C-alpha cells in the first residue's frame, strides 16, 4: 500500500536521536542520562511487576558475566 505520508524507519529515528545526543554538551549529556535513569527508577517503583523486573535484570547480569568469562577463556585471556 502506498501511503501519502512517509514514516521514518527505526534506523532513521535512532540516528536522529544519536545525532541530537552527540550535539549536546557533556553536562547536558549527563543530565539527559540522569533523567533517563530517574525515569526508569520511577517506572520500576510504580510497576506491579517490579520484583519480576529486578529478578530478570539480575539473571541477565549473571548471564552476561558468564558469557564474558567464557569469551575470555576461549580467547586465552
Tell me the C-alpha distance between 27 and 21, whole Å.
11
Residue 21 near residue 31 (C-beta atoms within 8 A): no
Q: Are residues 42 and 63 in the same domain?
A: no
Q: 4 pLDDT band (50/70/90 cuts)?
A: confident
- What is the domain extent for residue 39? 7-46
- At 66 the pLDDT is 98
Cell numbers describing residue 36: 533517563
More confident residue, 29 or 1: 29
Please check whether residue 2 lies inside any domain of the structure. no
pLDDT above 90 (res 77) = no
Looking at the structure of the chain, the number of domains it has is 2
- At 70 the pLDDT is 97
Residue 6's H or E segment, with its range, is: none
Q: Are residues 37 and 58 in the same domain?
A: no
Mean pLDDT of 47-74: 96
Tell me the C-alpha distance between 8 and 17, whole Å.
12
Q: 31 pLDDT band (50/70/90 cuts)?
A: very high
CA 42 → CA 30, 35, 57, distances in Å?
18, 10, 16
Amino acid at each position: 500500500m502506498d501511503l501519502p505520508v512517509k514514516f521514518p524507519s527505526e534506523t532513521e529515528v535512532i540516528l536522529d536521536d544519536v545525532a541530537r545526543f552527540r550535539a549536546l554538551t557533556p553536562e547536558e549529556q549527563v543530565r539527559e542520562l540522569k533523567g533517563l535513569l530517574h525515569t526508569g527508577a520511577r517506572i520500576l517503583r510504580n510497576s506491579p511487576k517490579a520484583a519480576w523486573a529486578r529478578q530478570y535484570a539480575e539473571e541477565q547480569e549473571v548471564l552476561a558475566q558468564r558469557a564474558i568469562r567464557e569469551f575470555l577463556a576461549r580467547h586465552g585471556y
